[in-house]
Structure 1
Amino acid sequence: MSNVMWQQAVEWLAAAAIDPQECKREWDHGTGTVLLEAGRFWDVLTVPDRLGLLALDIMWRNPLDVPGPTLVDCAAGRVGFFLPPDPVSEWVGCGVRHVGRGSWVAVPPPYRPAGRLEWLVPPDGAGTLHTPGTLEAALREATGTLAVLAPVSAEQAGPEGREWR
């Protein structure tokens, strides 16, 4: 990404802060993360990391549809997909959480990781977000793939879930 694109990404993200200038100062000189309000410019759909990483990989298959901003929380084992705000949709699935209006999201700057948070796909500064239909299709395909793989993983485990060696 060019410096202009990074700056646009910073401005786009910081616009969701109560005080955009303070947000940028915190990214540059503070802990590296800020809390940004969801529901105005974007919502975040979080899923378990295994599901999210596979879904993101599926979305990368189509070179004409670049995925939107995607954040990983390494400590929590979650992947967050930034999508348009939608107060009506209900996302359902095991471990799926929809973060919208009235919620806050810890966000690192788009140009570097901060602590346990890292951008897998940083914001592009133009406001590109995940398309809900594309994200849903990728999550469904990833869920199907993981369901097929689950019995194989279970077969490798011995009594009390210990792996055989």
Structure 2
Amino acid sequence: MHDMRWKQAVEWLAAAALDPQECKRQWDHGEGTALLAAGRYWDVLSVPDRLGLLALDLLWSDPLELPGPTLVDVMARRVGFFLPPDPGSEWVGFGVRHVGRGSWVAVPPPYRPSGRLEWLVPPDGSGTLHAAEPLERALRRATGTLAVLAPVSADQGGPDCW
């Protein structure tokens, strides 16, 4: 059963590639990542890692709102939330980037990390994505929490200060 879920997730992700077969070859035998087109099946909201990790934790705390696919780039220190395509959406915030139609996203296979990219919540193959409203609420709450913690971090000094 577990293998079937990964197969569905691979097919779902690879469908966003120009050449799904080449995408799967890249995952299995190439660099381990593939460039996939955003804006058709999903958009990605990329945020700084501290904000994204806290928001994801808040999303996990609500049993009625299971998080959708979420990717982390450990070197760039960014978290990417996969959400439904919405060319008219306006996500605003410090370090927030909305990646939609006309953009490409480097993606590892759903069954293992690849280099600097790793799934925090891998896709399940069903097409489930983050819903915009709960994600926005979680990001707002996380921003408020980080704003309260920022003065404490600033007093301590170090590279994590804002």
2-structure distance, mates of 1:113, 1:20: 19
2-structure distance, mates of 1:156, 1:92: 29
State the shift of 1:28 in Å.
0.4
Number of matched residues? 159
Give unpaired runs (5+ residues) of structure 1. Answer: none
Report the counterpart of residue 129 of structure 2 in structure 1.
Answer: 129
Secondary structure, counterpart of 1:23 in structure 2: helix
Report the counterpart of residue 35 of structure 1 in structure 2.
Answer: 35
Secondary structure, counterpart of 1:115 in structure 2: coil
1-structure distance, mates of 2:154, 2:94: 19
Deviating beyond 2 angstroms after TM superposition, the runs of 4 or more aligned structure 1 residues are none
State the shift of 1:138 in Å.
0.2
1-structure distance, mates of 2:75, 2:15: 27
1-structure distance, mates of 2:144, 2:153: 15
State the shift of 1:64 in Å.
2.0
Report the counterpart of residue 115 of structure 1 in structure 2.
Answer: 115
Larger Rg: 1
The reply to whether residue 100 of structure 1 matches residue 71 of structure 2 is: no
2-structure distance, mates of 1:25, 1:31: 9
1-structure distance, mates of 2:10, 2:62: 27
Query: TM-score, normalized by length of structure 2?
Result: 0.96
Report the counterpart of residue 72 of structure 2 in structure 1.
Answer: 72
Give unpaired runs (5+ residues) of structure 2. Answer: none
Report the counterpart of residue 14 of structure 2 in structure 1.
Answer: 14
Q: Percent identity?
A: 79
2-structure distance, mates of 1:71, 1:56: 11
Q: CA RMSD in A?
A: 1.1
Query: TM-score, normalized by length of structure 1?
Result: 0.94
1-structure distance, mates of 2:80, 2:62: 20
Deviations 1:28-69 (A, max 9, x none): 011000000000000000000000000000000011211000
